[in-house]
Amino acid sequence: MHRLAIIIPAYKATFLPAALDSIAAQTCKDFALYVGDDCSPEPIGEIVEQYRDKIELVYQRFDSNLGGKNLVAQWERCISMSKEEPYIWLFSDDDVMEPNCVEQLLRTIDETKGAYDLYHFDSYRIDENGKFELLRKSYPSILSSYDFYKGKMLGKYDSYVVENVFSRFIYEHSGGFKNFDLAWGSDVATWCIFSNEKGMCSVPGALIGWRRSSQNITPKKTRETAERKLMADCSFLCWAYRFYHHETAIWQVNRTRFVTSMCQYKKKVGSSCLKEASRLFYDTHGHYSERLLICLLIALPQMIRKYIMKLW
């Protein structure tokens, strides 16, 4: 039995060969690859077949598309393909890993005696052609759950699904991924849960290449998508407020994130959506005495708003 299951919920074929090439090039082969084809109209199976002599893999084409309706359910459906490997890496069909990622991961697990349920890779951004664009800020060697959350909400850290490897124990013990609409915030909430008791441990000396392309969900700009994202953002903040209720600064962190989110979406969504998002946020957080001030902040020009929030 291998120590690591690498899981790819696959739908897009464009960059899949690059992802599989990076996995096939790993200096340590103590892993099995599982590819779950989400009933894609693209030739996922044909591409995967070309790697059978390079990677120990399991491929399954599902009869129905689930990711378009419930992305988290598709992630979990793909994870259920795996066996009993003690660690799980939910990867993607368009990102890449450096050749020593698996080797460094397992070395770090051994050196820490498996003390953590969540292991993190730092990352850099690549474009559609695989060209380097940006090196992202490194995480500390050990990061607590709340410090991760606070850093993510305040813009100190970036976070993507492919950066983290988790133990099968914590995945099963926690009941899988936290589910929000469009999986918006689902990964961040899940990392908070998985690292809540022990923190997350960074893997040194190996990086992930996260691809920014027109195929990411982020660039979609329809009003419906924007409204779903805003409501998911607020649902996520409400969940975090309850999850970190013991942290004295959670209101200030969430207040800042709420203002940022409302400003980001206020010109993209309808007034009824803004009202519903606000109602959801305050029904959970309270602090109604600051509501007027927050509304004024949201209405201010960006430069003035940022200056006031620094003093707040």
Q: Which domains does the chain have, with CATH numbers?
A: 4-211 (3.90.550.10), 223-311 (no CATH)
Q: pLDDT confidence of 299, banded at 50, 70, 90?
A: confident
Selection from 182, 201, 200, 203 nearest residue 191 by Cα? 200
Mean residue pLDDT of the chain comes to 95
Mean pLDDT of 172-201: 97
Selection from 214, 216, 217, 257 nearest residue 235 by Cα? 257
311: exposed, middle or buried (C-beta count within 10 Å: 0-12, 13-18, 19+)?
Answer: exposed
User: Is the CB of residue 97 less than 8 Å from the CB of residue 33?
Assistant: no
What confidence tens digit (pLDDT) does each residue in 193-203 have?
999 999 999 99
**The pLDDT of residue 227 is above 80:** yes
The pLDDT value given to residue 300: 80
Helix pair angle (223-243, 271-285), 10° resolution = 0
Q: pLDDT confidence of 311, banded at 50, 70, 90?
A: low
What amino acid is encoded at 210 in this protein? W
Model confidence, pTM: 0.94
Q: pLDDT confidence of 220, banded at 50, 70, 90?
A: low
